[in-house]
């Protein structure tokens, strides 16, 4: 456990997040707040948690004085050895409501009318059983909630509070199977909205996956299943219910390369999935993922977000699709159409690695979101990355950048958004660090009245206890 206190002095050239067509006011503001890191692993317990609270005080724009916070953590408890486990997670942050509205280097700092306080948590107990190396089973339950505070960051709640409950049972081939692998999973998940009618979104699904290894290079893949979507508060698109199937192959030409692809029919039309990796070196890997899913906003942004998270060797929680530190406040995600069923087709390509003095992660992505109930289609593409270099034993240089292009049919304009940050971090001692930071937010659009830019310079001290 590592408690800390952060203090910072910052200068901004656009304190109110005004558009380029409006008057932009510069200002100075101070930041102070406590935080805590908890990273622990025992014989049967694993916990990774980071939380902080900060208060911003402005020199001139006193209406922006405000406190905010965030908390993010995942954990696991083994109750009975190799049999019974409980996973848990928690996430509190300021959620962007509409990514095409106002923006800045820190949306939680100034966009009180375009953010809402959001709290997600889930608890998932599961039981494992093995039968003589022939069959392995997993029985899992899940309970979670997504909660919004409409009064905490403005008066609008763009999406309903929701409680998610689920149950799944999987039966898979055991260690005795060497060339033919199979898995059958049945699951039901229901997200109950806290609205006037307590409407709910539910998915029931049975899926069978198979893999047949032909030789060291090739394997055949197959998936078949049946699913039913039900939404008492919205329309289920045609073709979503019924049988679906995917067929494909896995190609493994050597120990460093693996690529699989499947194609078939789902959601009333063609569907596809792919994943791959190439190991460039002992610590450097290229990864590819292609997914086609359908869900509602609460599930996409809430409980299911944690399914993408893993811990790297340094104990940092990362998104395995990008290799970057996990960021629930994805600037390309928001709460518009949060209560409607949305089909999400995504492509992610990432490069992660490290050398003796450098750590780096780069990614590019494309996402298409179709919400048939409202007729909304959105296409988001972008690229970005992080780079860290150890300049001296006590001094690090960090760079992070992300740019994305949004083309949304629900709005008349396209948006090109760039976030850039760089810092020099110095360790004065084991318990005191300091940094000089620069951040840029720039959004360009067909609508010049909604273009925004902010430059921010900060000097920060962090004291650990």
% of the chain beyond a pLDDT of 70: 84
Selection from 379, 381, 446 nearest residue 409 by Cα: 379
Of the candidates 232, 97, 235, 74, the residue with the CA atom closest to the CA atom of residue 154: 97
Which residues sit opposite 146 in a β-bridge? 120, 162
DSSP of 220-259: EEEEEEEEEEEETTSPPPTT-SEEEEEEEEEEEEETTEEE
Q: Is the pLDDT of residue 232 over 90?
A: no
CATH class of domain segment(s) 2-121+236-464: mainly beta
The model's pLDDT over 66-82, given as tens digits with 9 standing for 90+, comes to 888 888 888 999 999 99
Strand partners for 223? 209, 246
Separation between Cα atoms, residue 328 and residue 151, nearest integer Å: 21
Q: Which of 82, 79, 57, 60 is closest to 68 using CA atoms? A: 57
What's the pLDDT band for 137 if we cut at 50, 70, 90?
Answer: very high
Higher pLDDT, 366 or 327: 366
CB-based contacts of 390, cutoff 8 Å, min separation 6: 357, 358, 396
Name the residue among 348, 360, 421, 349 with its Cα closest to residue 385. 360
Confidence of residue 156 (pLDDT cuts 50, 70, 90): very low
Whether residue 111 is predicted with pLDDT greater than 80 in this model: the reply is no
Most confident of 65-74, 323-332, 355-364: 355-364
Pseudo-torsion of CA 345, 347, 353, 359, nearest 10°?
-70
- Give the long-range contacts of residues 429-435, CB within 8 A, separation 24 or more: 430/464, 431/463, 431/464, 431/465, 432/461, 432/462, 432/463, 432/464, 433/461, 433/462, 433/464, 434/459, 434/460, 434/461, 434/462, 435/459, 435/460, 435/462
Q: Is the pLDDT of residue 314 over 70?
A: no
Higher pLDDT: 295 or 382? It is 382
Lowest average pLDDT, out of 29-33, 177-181, 421-425, 447-451, goes to 447-451
Domain boundaries, the chain: 2-121+236-464
Cα 240 to Cα 242: distance, rounded to the nearest angstrom: 7
Average pLDDT, the chain: 86
Q: Dig out the tokens for 36 from the structure.
A: 């805590």
pLDDT at residue 295, as a whole number:
74
pLDDT, tens digit, 9 for 90 and up, residues 373-418: 777 788 999 999 999 999 999 999 999 999 999 888 777 778 898 9
Cβ neighbours around 216 below 10 Å, total: 10
Look at residue 35 in the predicted model and tell me its pLDDT.
95
What DSSP assignment string belongs to 28-69?
Answer: EEEEEEEEEEEEEE-SSEEEEEEEEEEEEEESS-GGG-EEEE
CB atoms within 10 A of CB 363: 21
pLDDT at 188: 95
- Give the global pTM: 0.81
Contact between residue 460 and residue 429 where contact means Cβ atoms under 8 Å apart: no
Give me Rg for the CA atoms of the chain. Answer: 23
| Section 112-138 average pLDDT | 88
Which DSSP letter does residue 159 get? S
Q: For residues 106-120, give the mean pLDDT.
A: 69
Write down the residue that tokens 């029931």 correspond to.
204
User: In this model, does residue 356 exceed pLDDT 60?
Assistant: yes
CA distance 318 to 232: 35
In this prediction, residues 427-436 reach a mean pLDDT of: 96
Please give the pLDDT value at position 302: 46
pLDDT at site 151: 42
pLDDT at 450: 78
In sequence order, what are the residues at sequence separation of 6 or more whose Cβ sits closer than 8 angstroms to the Cβ of residue 112?
A: 66, 153, 154
Helix (H) or strand (E) holding 399: strand 395-408
pLDDT at 162: 84
pLDDT at 304 over 70: no
| Of the candidates 167, 195, 191, 377, the residue with the CA atom closest to the CA atom of residue 298 | 191
Could you read off the pLDDT of 23-69 as tens digits, one per residue?
A: 889 999 999 999 999 988 888 999 999 899 999 999 998 888 888 88
Q: How far apart are CA 243 and CA 185, in angstroms?
A: 15
* Helix, strand and coil percent figures for the chain, each rounded to 5: 5, 70, 30
Which of 305, 254, 252 minimizes the C-alpha distance to 91?
305
pLDDT band at residue 432, thresholds of 50, 70 and 90? very high
């Amino acid at each position: 456990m590592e408690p800390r206190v952060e203090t910072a002095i910052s200068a901004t050239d656009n304190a109110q997040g005004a558009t380029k067509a409006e008057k932009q006011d510069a200002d100075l503001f101070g930041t102070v707040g406590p935080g805590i890191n908890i990273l622990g692993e025992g014989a049967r317990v694993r916990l990774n948690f980071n939380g902080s609270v900060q208060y911003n005080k402005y020199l001139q724009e006193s209406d922006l004085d405000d406190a905010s916070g965030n908390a993010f953590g995942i954990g696991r408890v083994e109750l009975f050895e190799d049999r019974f486990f409980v996973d848990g997670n928690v996430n509190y942050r300021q959620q962007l409501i509409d990514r095409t509205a106002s923006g800045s280097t820190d949306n939680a700092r100034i966009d009180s009318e375009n953010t809402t306080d959001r709290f997600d948590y889930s608890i998932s107990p599961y039981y494992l059983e093995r039968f003589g190396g022939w069959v392995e089973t997993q029985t899992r339950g899940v309970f979670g909630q997504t909660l919004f505070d409409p009064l905490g960051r403005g008066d609008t709640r763009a999406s309903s509070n929701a409680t998610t409950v689920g149950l799944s049972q999987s039966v898979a081939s055991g260690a005795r199977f060497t060339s033919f692998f199979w898995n059958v999973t049945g699951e039901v998940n229901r997200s109950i909205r806290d609205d006037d009618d307590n409407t709910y979104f539910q998915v029931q699904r049975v899926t069978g996956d198979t893999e047949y290894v032909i030789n060291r290079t090739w394997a055949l893949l197959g998936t078949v299943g049946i699913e039913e979507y039900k939404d008492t508060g919205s329309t289920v698109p045609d073709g979503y219910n019924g049988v679906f199937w995917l067929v494909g192959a896995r190609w493994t030409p050597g120990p460093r390369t693996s690529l699989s692809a499947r194609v078939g029919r789902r959601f009333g039309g063609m569907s596809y999935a792919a994943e791959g990796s190439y190991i460039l070196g002992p610590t450097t890997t290229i990864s590819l993922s292609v997914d086609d899913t359908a869900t509602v906003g609460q599930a996409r942004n809430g409980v299911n977000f944690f399914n993408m998270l893993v811990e790297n060797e340094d104990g940092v929680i990362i998104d395995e699709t990008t290799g970057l530190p996990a960021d629930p406040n994805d600037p390309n995600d928001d709460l518009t159409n949060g209560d409607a069923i949305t089909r999400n087709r995504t492509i992610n390509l990432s490069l992660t690695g490290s050398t003796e003095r450098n750590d780096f992660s780069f990614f590019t992505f494309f996402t298409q979101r179709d919400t048939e109930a409202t007729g909304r289609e959105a296409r988001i593409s972008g690229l970005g990355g992080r780079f860290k270099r150890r300049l001296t034993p006590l001094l690090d240089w960090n760079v992070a950048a992300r740019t994305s292009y949004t083309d949304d049919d629900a709005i008349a304009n396209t948006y090109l958004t760039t976030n850039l940050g760089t810092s020099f971090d110095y360790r004065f001692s084991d318990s005191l660090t300091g940094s000089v930071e620069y951040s840029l937010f720039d959004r360009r659009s067909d609508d010049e009245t909604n273009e925004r830019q902010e430059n921010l310079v900060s000097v920060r001290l962090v004291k650990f206890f």
